[in-house]
Structure 1
């Protein structure tokens, strides 16, 4: 059973990623308790965990800030994410059990469907969590989850053509899953690299759009 602290992290992280809690806004512990419907202790624990993951910033004299995510932050995070995801995929190809492979194929089949943006975002979370689980290294989860959450938040903040971006993203995630299920490390690594290349180009496109705006 998921703890209340984990529930608070999930709910607050989703609100930050989806923009319900706006970048640059200041929030209070009491306000977050009201938003999540959870008590002081789990919310306080969630705030501390999300601050470690750069999803929140605690100012002792002012409150709790939802920090903005710059293009520079996104590109720096993607450099680390690229390397750690390749490691996770390598371990997943080596360590997947038959039950794991059944779960991977089921999730790959799910990605054939059409999704509204919130459901697609949840499916991407499930994809990343499943790969980390199959890799069977707890340190990977501690490192990868914050990086993936931050890059997902940036992607959601700047998305314009939802249908097109979802189509691209789900095809790349599906290729990763199917390659792991086949224990094809070369294909899985290639798809992972393409996913990260896509995210880098997405970030650079944000820069280009800003530069093109009239002063």
Structure 2
């Protein structure tokens, strides 16, 4: 039986959102991809702390279009990883050691919460993945570059958050992980006597061991030990790293106040 014009329009209205769904999913995936790429550039200081740049420069750097980059920048701004100014464009958040010492206290408490839940709730598949990452660190940790270690570290963080199965904390803890990954990169790359990754590798192995084996108290103690190691980085950074490496906009101030050569 032939359908009436009214029924055809109704079917069109129902079908339209379905046909748009792949495009929307693709856009979301591109937004996530843009976020992850910019985050990686931020952690490795390829996007220098304090640097100003425009959206089109970020598009060129990550090879993606305006919409996913704009969406990623909005998320990064909400995470306090970039600062968006109508007059000056996008600024990569400088490293503020005073603020980040305070944030480490927040991270310590949140890590305890997540580690406890991950230890109590992780399933067999998740524990197997943890032990696989532990083997990677045991076998290759001493020879890893900081970039390679950060890839494993990101996977560990994602796995613990998934095992904890409490989405409420993820939106707060994820940017904290990025902030302190950047701190770790500067510590290991800009202070020559601290380039060895063994201490941080050992700390991560201790946490994985305890979580994967269901030892809650040991897991929390290992997490605290890892946070103590991160805290120890601050005095080294304050003493040994030039302020302009923490905020490259200070270079312009140095030029402004440089003495004028006499004629």
Q: What is the CA-CA distance between 1:162 and the residue it aligns to?
A: 5.3
For the residues of structure 2 that align with 1:53 and 1:42, how far apart are their CA atoms?
A: 17
Structure-2 change in CA distance of 1:92 and 1:124 (3 Å): same
Looking at structure 2, the residues matched to 76 and 62 of structure 1 have their Cα atoms a distance apart, in angstroms, of 28
Which of the two has higher C-alpha Rg? 2
Q: Equivalent residue for 1:34?
A: 60
Match of 2:69 in 1: 43
Q: 1:154 aligns with which of 178, 183, 186?
A: 183
Structure 2 residue aligned with 1:130: 159
Any stretches of 5+ residues in structure 2 without a counterpart?
A: 1-25, 243-263
Distance 2:79 2:204 in 1: 23
Partners of 1:74 and 1:154 within 8 A in 2: no
Match of 1:25 in 2: 51
Is 1:205–2:231 an aligned residue pair? no
Instruction: Give the 3-state SS of the residue equivalent to 2:84 in structure 1.
Output: strand
Deviation at 1:163, TM superposition (A): 4.2
8 Å CA contact 1:22–1:66 kept in 2: the answer is yes
How far did residue 204 of structure 1 move? 2.0
How many Å separate the matches in 1 of 2:170 and 2:103?
15
TM-score, normalised with respect to structure 1? 0.93
Q: Deviations over 1:110-157 (max 9, x none)?
A: 111131121011111111111111100111211111111101112212
SS of equivalent to 1:111: helix
Q: Secondary structure at the match of 2:80?
A: coil
Q: 2:202 aligns with which of 160, 168, 171?
A: 171
Tell me the TM-score normalised to structure 2 length: 0.76
Q: Distance in 1 between matches of 2:212 and 2:88?
A: 49
Moved over 3 A (4+): 208-211
Query: What per-residue deviation string (whole Å, max 9, x for no partner) do you get for residues 22-65 of structure 1?
Result: 11111110010010001111000000000111111000111100
Query: How many residues of Structure 1 are paired with residues of Structure 2 in the alignment?
Result: 210
Q: Structure 1 unaligned runs (5+)? A: none
Q: 2:122 aligns with which of 87, 96, 116?
A: 96
